[in-house]
């Protein structure tokens, strides 16, 4: 019989922390548009949220994601084979998922290609995903803006699960770190969905802003954008 998801998480927890007692565990599936998976420890209780796109995933994939999340949580090394297995599954399913999104979007929002004259936004997303997010973020539709707008440098559109970056950045005079920084900012919007706090929309929470400053060239990038 196929082991249940809680059993899988317990197994993987035992492998990562053989000496520790098993915490109480809750696993929920969520309809994330973008294959996000999260784990947090609250009052001795582990809360895991998985994208519902993983609901029908084969056992080795569920084991891989359990391992990745627990390793991340306890700051243990992530097994390369496991990481690769997860990426492979997400890669093939993302294609199907995106095809579905594209059908939904047809006639509603026109998106341009991620491949610009100088920079490929898909490649930039995947590079940042590996460097800063353990490769765990599902790639939304990446698109250059139709015109060279300076008013909005980038935005994440949750309704269409799309990141749109101003075309002014697709230029050889634009340093890679500045573009990386803009895309990194939009990726943080994926990670920190907009919450309602009272009646005020909190777009850049304190958590968001703290994480933004983790970008290694944060100051240099901010300086460059001010001059732009
Ligand atoms: Zn923002």
CATH 3.30.2010.10 is held by the domain 109-227: yes
* In the chain, domain spans: 5-83, 109-227
pLDDT at 125: 97
Please indicate whether residue 175 or residue 36 has the higher confidence score (pLDDT): 175
For residues 209 and 200, give the distance between their C-alpha atoms in angstroms, rounded to a whole number.
Answer: 17
CA of 212 to the centre of ligand 1 (A): 10
pLDDT at 54: 79
CA of 228 to the centre of ligand 1 (A): 17
* Model confidence pLDDT, tens digit, residues 117-159: 999 999 999 999 999 998 888 899 999 998 888 888 998 887 7
Average pLDDT of span 34-58:
83
CA of 222 to the centre of ligand 1 (A): 13
CA of 17 to the centre of ligand 1 (A): 37
Tell me the three state secondary structure of residue 174: coil
CA of 210 to the centre of ligand 1 (A): 13
CA of 120 to the centre of ligand 1 (A): 21
For residues 194 and 204, give the distance between their C-alpha atoms in angstroms, rounded to a whole number.
Answer: 8
State the average pLDDT for the chain: 85
* Model confidence pLDDT, tens digit, residues 156-173: 887 778 899 999 999 999
Phi, psi angle pair for 51, to nearest 5°: -65, 140
pLDDT at 107: 46
Per-residue tokens: 205: 């929470």
pTM for this prediction: 0.59
Listed range (31-45, 76-90, 208-222) with the worst mean pLDDT: 31-45
DSSP 2: P
Q: Which residues pair with 195 in a beta bridge?
A: 202
For residues 59 and 89, give the distance between their C-alpha atoms in angstroms, rounded to a whole number.
Answer: 12
In CATH, what class is 5-83? alpha beta
CA of 203 to the centre of ligand 1 (A): 7
Q: Does 57 have pLDDT greater than 60?
A: yes
Pair 118, 170: CB distance under 8 Å: yes
* Model confidence pLDDT, tens digit, residues 100-117: 555 555 445 667 889 999
């Amino acid at each position: 019989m196929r082991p249940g998801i809680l059993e899988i998480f317990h197994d993987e927890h035992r492998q990562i922390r053989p000496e520790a007692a098993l915490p109480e565990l809750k696993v929920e599936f969520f309809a994330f548009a973008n294959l996000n998976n999260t784990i947090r420890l609250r009052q001795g209780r582990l809360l895991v949220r998985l994208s519902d796109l993983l609901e029908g995933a084969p056992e080795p994939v569920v084991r891989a994601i359990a391992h990745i999340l627990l390793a991340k949580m306890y700051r243990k090394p992530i097994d390369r084979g496991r990481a690769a297995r997860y990426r492979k599954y997400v890669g093939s399913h993302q294609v199907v998922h995106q095809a579905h999104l594209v059908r939904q979007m047809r006639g509603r929002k026109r998106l341009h290609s991620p491949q610009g004259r100088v920079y490929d936004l898909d490649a930039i997303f995947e590079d940042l995903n590996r460097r800063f997010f353990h490769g765990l973020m599902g790639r939304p539709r990446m698109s250059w803006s139709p015109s060279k707008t300076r008013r909005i440098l980038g935005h994440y559109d949750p309704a269409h699960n799309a990141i749109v970056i101003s075309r002014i950045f697709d230029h050889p005079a634009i340093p890679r770190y500045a573009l990386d920084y803009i895309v990194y900012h939009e990726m943080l919007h994926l990670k920190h969905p907009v919450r309602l706090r009272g009646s005020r929309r909190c777009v850049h929470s304190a958590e968001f802003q703290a994480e933004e400053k983790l970008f290694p060239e944060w100051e240099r990038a901010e300086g460059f954008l001010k001059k732009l």
